[in-house]
Amino acid sequence: MPILNELATLVKRQRAEMGLTQERLAELAGLSRVTINQLETGKIGNLSLINAEQLANVVGYGLGVIGVRKAKDDVSQALEIAAKTASVSYTDPIPPETLRLAILHGVVAPNYIPQLRVLLDEAPVGVLSDITRQLEREDGVRPRSTWQKMRQLAAALGCTRGIWS
């Protein structure tokens, strides 16, 4: 099944980049570690749409029926989108460049701590994934390193989202 192979490749890559074990990903998706392992190794013959969607959502993707598959190559505005997402409830929005520096260096100005906490705790995982790809493209930082830096920031800011523990 091509869709299962595609999902397996995506899940394995994203899980590794996010620094999650198979066991932790299984917990977050409500599946067994064996299911995750079988998917990643190509040994699973069938996965329900509900389970596939839950799994895709945890790693920042969605499942849907589309006419033509498109590559998700344009992430050039991920930081701008993330900054807007993080700042919706605040009068002082975090500038995209400030967000970039915070994620790259693990330091954020005190007046932007609430915005960064919102981003890490509430933004769709797909937005966070896009940030990792933009930083890879523009700053040469590997996605796994960016995920680790975001995990460190989340811990320092007291974020409670499951992907950070």
Rounded CA-CA distance 64/20 in Å is: 24
Report the pLDDT averaged over residues 143-147: 96
Contacts of 18 (CB under 8 A, 6+ apart): 59, 147, 163
Report the pLDDT averaged over residues 115-125: 95
Closest CA to 19 of 153, 156, 150: 150
Q: Which residue has the higher pLDDT, 70 or 8?
A: 8
pLDDT of 1 over the 90 cut: no
Provide the percentage of residues in the chain whose pLDDT is more than 90: 83
Give the angle 66-68-71 at the CA atoms, nearest 5°. 100
What pLDDT is attached to residue 165?
86
pTM of the model: 0.74
Q: Is 67 helix (H, G, I), strand (E, B) or coil?
A: coil
What pLDDT is attached to residue 70?
45
Encode pLDDT of 42-87 as tens digits. Answer: 999 889 999 999 999 999 988 877 654 444 556 789 999 999 999 9
Rounded CA-CA distance 119/84 in Å is: 9
Provide the percentage of residues in the chain whose pLDDT is more than 70: 94
Rounded CA-CA distance 79/130 in Å is: 8
Residue type, 11: V
Q: What is the mean pLDDT of the chain?
A: 91
For residue 3, name the pLDDT band (cuts at 50, 70, 90).
confident
Burial of 121 (0-12, 13-18, 19+ CB in 10 A): middle
